[in-house]
Amino acid sequence: MQVTKWMAAGVAALMSVSALAADPLKIGFVYVGPVSDGGWTYEHNVGRLAVEEAYGDKVETTFVESVSEGPDSERVITQLAQSHDMVFTTSFGFMNPTVKVAKRFPNVKFEHATGFKRADNVATYGSRFYEGRAVIGTVAGEMTKTNIIGYIASFPIPEVVRGINAAYLAAKQVNPDVKMKIVWVNTWFDPGKEGDAAKALIDQGADVLMQHTDSGAPMQIAEQQGIYAFGQASDMKTFGPNAQLTGIIDDWAPYYVQQVGKALDGTWSNTDTWGGFNTGMVALAPFGDAVPAELQARALEIRDNIANGNLHPFTGPINKQDGSPWLADGEVADDGTLLGMNFYVEGIDGSLPQ
């Protein structure tokens, strides 16, 4: 009994090894933007290249870029599933199409970024970018002289709202007088509009900018006007060599390499990964020269404390914008609330559509 089991396992292992040698694991990536966007999609593509680098001819990767989140996505995902063993869909809007297609292709492994629906062959992953926001919020709170931080936001989705709240709370902690001005541009990507928003915020007194949009335009404006800003998604130092204090980098490579590795050795399962500093999915860009050494050290300490679990960016007491209590003293936000966050914390002006 035992022997036959072992033998079967050995044969299976042999077969999978020979299958590997003959047939590379084919992996497809669906991107929402162009690879050349320099931000969100660019970083996912860096992750794809890391997979190729790590596994060489054991894998073969394909990507389809600029896939609209509307009617086209289901077809693209299906077409990839027909000829691939594993498919990464890298935008929230691909969630329902991914789950739908996965039902029809039970032997294909799917990985969907930033969603919450899983199935036997659908894993989800996302990054706790808000951890990075807490660090840059601290830096911003210390660096601002006008006590006004400008925030260029894209769409009022939980991900973005979470970032605003985390940054504000961290800045407020080190600088009780700090104000945050928020401008929604209703686009992920329009350098002209993002630049205009940056100027509007600077004109209203902001001397540190944060952005949750993809282009380097706000960083350029910050550089031109001699103020500070933080990179988004990629290191944006080329856009603002003096302006960039640090930045939040999306590093998908470790996760992609790990998951593809699991698919290769047969240990893949439909996990839910929401990784932060601890997994390397969120990283900081090198500090700019303007950040004093003492502040750099403090920022890194916050990062390390978040990474090892000693510090949670959303720790009570925290009230909601309308003054109603959200977290009691010492209470830590649960992931469910964070995932669906659609309210500002106390002290932020403006309103979100409900």
Partner 1 sequence: MIVLEPWETRRAWLDWASPLIAIALTLVGGGLMFWVLGQSPLEALRIFFIQPLTSVYGVSELLLKATPLILIGIGLSLGFRAGVWNIGAEGQLVMGGVTAGAVALALYEVESIWVIPAMMLAGIAGGMLWGAIPALLKTRFNTNEILSSLMLTYVAGLFLSLMVHGPLKDPDGYNFPESRLFHDAALMPTLFEQGRAHIGFVMALIIAPVAAFLLSRHVLGFQLRVQGVAPNAARFAGFSSKRLVWLSFLLGGALAGLAGMMEVSGSVGQLVPIISPGYGFTAIIVAFLGRLNPLGVVPAGLLMALSYMGGEAAQIELGLPNAVTGVFQGMLLFFLLSTAVISDYRIRWRARV
Partner 2 sequence: MMDLGFLIPALQSIIIASTPLVFTALGEVVTERAGVLNLGVEGMMIMGAVVGFACVIAGFSPFTAFVFAALAGLGMALLFGIMTLLLYANAVATGLALTLFGLGLSALVGSQFVGLSAGAFPKVSIPVLSDLPVVGPLLFGHDALVYVSLALVVALIWFFKHTRAGLIVRAVGDDHDAAHAIGYNVIAIRMGAVLFGGAMAGLGGAYLSVVQTPLFIENMTAGRGWIALALVVFASWRPGRVLLGAYLFGGISIIQLHVQGFGIAIPSQILSMLPYLATIVVLTVISARAAQQGAPRSLGKTFKVTR
Site residues (vs partner 1, CB under 8 A): 28, 34-35, 62-66, 68-72, 74-76, 78-80, 82-83, 92-93, 96, 100, 116, 155-158, 186, 336, 339-342, 352-354
Smallest Cα–Cα separation from 137: which of 194, 225, 208, 195? 208
Name which of partner 1, partner 2, none residue 76 binds, using a CB cut-off of 5 to 8 Å depending on partner kind. partner 1
CB of 35 to partner 1, least distance (A): 7
In the chain, the N- to C-terminal Cα span, in Å, equals 62
Strands (E), the chain: 25-30, 59-64, 86-89, 109-113, 122-127, 148-153, 179-184, 208-211, 228-233, 244-250, 272-275, 282-284, 318-319, 325-327
Q: What is the DSSP string of 157-210?
A: -HHHHHHHHHHHHHHHHH-TT-EEEEEE-S-S--HHHHHHHHHHHHHTT--EEE
- Using CB under 8 A, which residues numbered 35 to 54 contact partner 2? 35-38, 42
- Contact flag: residue 244 with partner 2 (CB under 8 A): no
H or E element that contains 101: helix 95-104
Name which of partner 2, partner 1, none residue 93 binds, using a CB cut-off of 5 to 8 Å depending on partner kind. partner 1
Which SS3 state, helix, strand or coil, does residue 89 take? strand
- Contact flag: residue 115 with partner 2 (CB under 8 A): no
Closer to partner 2 by CB, 152 or 306: give it.
152
Look-up of token digits 């550089």: 223
Look at phi and psi of residue 50 and say left if phi exceeds 0, alpha if psi is from -120 to 50, else beta: alpha
Cα-Cα-Cα-Cα dihedral of 96, 101, 105, 107, to 10°?
Answer: -40
- Contact flag: residue 224 with partner 2 (CB under 8 A): yes
Name which of partner 2, partner 1, none residue 291 binds, using a CB cut-off of 5 to 8 Å depending on partner kind. none
Name which of partner 1, partner 2, none residue 189 binds, using a CB cut-off of 5 to 8 Å depending on partner kind. partner 2
Closer to partner 2 by CB, 113 or 243: give it.
243
Closer to partner 2 by CB, 179 or 303: give it.
179
Name which of partner 2, partner 1, none residue 158 binds, using a CB cut-off of 5 to 8 Å depending on partner kind. partner 1
How many residues touch partner 2 under the rule CB under 8 A: the total is: 47
Distance CA 111, CA 82 (A): 16
Closer to partner 1 by CB, 74 or 331: give it.
74
Closer to partner 2 by CB, 124 or 165: give it.
165
CB of 282 to partner 1, least distance (A): 20
Closer to partner 2 by CB, 108 or 171: give it.
171
- Contact flag: residue 223 with partner 2 (CB under 8 A): yes
User: Mask 146-165, x = binds partner 2 (CB under 8 A)?
Assistant: ----x-----x---------
Which SS3 state, helix, strand or coil, does residue 67 take? coil
CB of 29 to partner 2, least distance (A): 17
Closer to partner 2 by CB, 187 or 270: give it.
187
Residue 273 burial by CB count (10 A; 0-12/13-18/19+): exposed, middle or buried?
A: middle
- Phi then psi for 112, rounded to 5 degrees? -110, 130
Largest CA distance in the chain: 78
Closer to partner 2 by CB, 203 or 304: give it.
203
Binding site for partner 2 (CB under 8 A): 34-38, 42, 150, 156, 181-187, 189-197, 199-205, 215-217, 220-221, 223-224, 234, 238-239, 348-353
